[in-house]
Amino acid sequence: MVAGPELEPCAVEVLSARALAVLARQDAAMYDQHLRLMRFDEALADLASRRGLLVRFHVKSMGPLNGQAELVVEAPEYMTVEYLKRRVVKAKLQRGDRLLSTARFMLRKRLSGSSSGGEAASGTEELPCVTPAGEEVFLFHLGYRAPGPYQIFIGTAAQTSDREQQEAMRESLLTDAHNRQQQRQQHHAAAAAAAMAAQPAEVVHARLRYQALLEAPGSVSAVQPVQPQRERLLPEAQQSVSPADSQGNSRSLPLASMQAAEGAGSVAPDVPPQPAVYVESRRQLARWTPGEVAALIAGVQMHGTHWSAIHEVYTPTGCINPARTQGDLKDKWRNIVRVVCMGRQDRSHGLTDEQRQIVWSIANPSNDVPE
């Protein structure tokens, strides 16, 4: 066998300052081991370069990982995939990345026929480091021949310890979320109980009565709308109101409160006595005088049912009591129209025949003669 020509030893590639800073974080034994391994790899690469057996690889990250540029590494075609991974670690170390174990990442190649413009992670398969029988895989076994270049991808390899740690973290998060939810529910329940305890006894008693009324079978549908008491008067004021006033000013209203509903279907239990006070109401105003009624009819005849206009014209002059609101004018006009259309003689309004005719013509534009 004829020996080949002697080759001069080549200087080992000098490590960058950032690479030395990363290696300095290792202990002395690991530092020396990494340096020896790198010198061995450099010697093999130099030999392959001289023999024309050096293969160039362009290594990209799978996905937009930190926006880093691709790495360019070279490895002899007669070396293993594990050797190629060490060259990738060396290239990452030279640019200041942290030192990774080759077991912590994997190399992938694009499947034949997949589009080069697609995602890096799609249409790829892993470069195996060992065969199922446990033998190392060489680059030329995978079809990589000098000089290249070839494109490969680097991705994180999931470890058994990583999966166990992730599962433990997931269980911890689920447990914490469940505990926080229980704490919130307990806090809300305690706050609701405290708010209930802080309410006056009358409010709690009324709520319980109302809930019992709703839960009673058929009690809700049996309750009929009643005329609620719109204000509370002193006994002296109640005695001064005549039956005619009560009949003329009372109106049917829908069910407006729980007390009115209970008054229709049940007898209210004993309630702590409340002081009798005046409640501000439109019925507390003085009765409508004939002059006010005439002014209201004239206002409707001139302005129609524009109560704001009537109020602005007649209340400043005193023709209508300034204390009366637009709602008072509207209610009084409705009462007058009802009395006229029903053909009743109500002395509380004191309408003349001429006024009745005017009201009838406004309320009934067809000018049908009232009965």
pLDDT score, position 331: 92
pLDDT of residue 68: 60
Residue ranges of domains in the chain, CATH in brackets: 17-159 (3.10.20.90), 286-363 (1.10.246.220)
| Average pLDDT for 70-91 | 82
79 CA to centre of own chain: 57
pLDDT at 325: 92
Which residues, 6 or more positions from 45, have their beta carbon under 8 angstroms from its beta carbon? 54, 74, 75, 76, 87
Q: Determine if residue 241 is left, alpha or beta; phi over 0 gives left, psi from -120 to 50 gives alpha, anything else beta.
A: beta
pTM beyond 0.85, yes or no: no
User: Number of helices (H) and strands (E), helices first, in the chain?
Assistant: 13, 5
DSSP 316: T
How many whole angstroms from its chain centre is CA 307?
46
Helix crossing, 28-51 with 81-94: angle to 10°?
110
Amino acid of residue 251: R
pLDDT at 278: 40
Enumerate residues 6+ apart whose C-beta is below 8 A from 46. 10
φ, ψ of residue 72 to 5 degrees: the values are: -120, 115
- Tokens of residue 354, six digits: 């001429």
Q: Tens of pLDDT along 210-266? A: 888 888 776 544 444 444 444 444 444 444 444 444 444 444 444 344 444 444 444
Residue 66, Ramachandran bin (φ over 0: left; ψ between -120 and 50: alpha; else beta): left
User: For residue range 170-222, what is the model confidence (pLDDT) as tens digits?
Assistant: 888 888 888 889 899 999 888 888 887 887 888 878 878 888 888 877 654 44
Q: What is the pLDDT of residue 352?
A: 86
Mean pLDDT (the chain) is 71
Q: Round to whole Å and give the CA distance between 218 and 212.
A: 12
Q: In this predicted model, what pLDDT tens digit does every residue of 24-56 receive, in sequence order? A: 766 666 666 666 777 666 777 766 666 677 888
Average pLDDT over residues 70-81: 82
Report whether 148 contacts 57 (CB < 8 A).
Answer: yes
Alpha helices in the chain (DSSP H): 17-24, 28-51, 81-94, 160-198, 201-215, 219-222, 235-240, 243-249, 258-265, 290-303, 307-314, 326-341, 353-363
| Residues of the chain above pLDDT 90, percent | 5
Q: Rounded CA gap, 189 and 186, in Å?
A: 5
For residue 257, what pLDDT is reported? Answer: 42
72, containing H or E segment: strand 71-76
Spell out the residues 6+ positions from residue 119 whose beta carbon is closer than 8 angstroms to its own: 63
| Predicted local confidence at residue 147, as pLDDT | 81
How far from chain centre, in Å, is Cα 169?
A: 26
Please state whether beta strands 124-126 and 150-156 pair in parallel, antiparallel, or not at all (unpaired).
unpaired
Q: What's the N-to-C CA distance of the chain in angstroms?
A: 141
Q: Phi, psi at residue 244, to the nearest 5°? A: -65, -40
Do 142 and 80 form a contact (C-beta atoms < 8 A)?
A: no
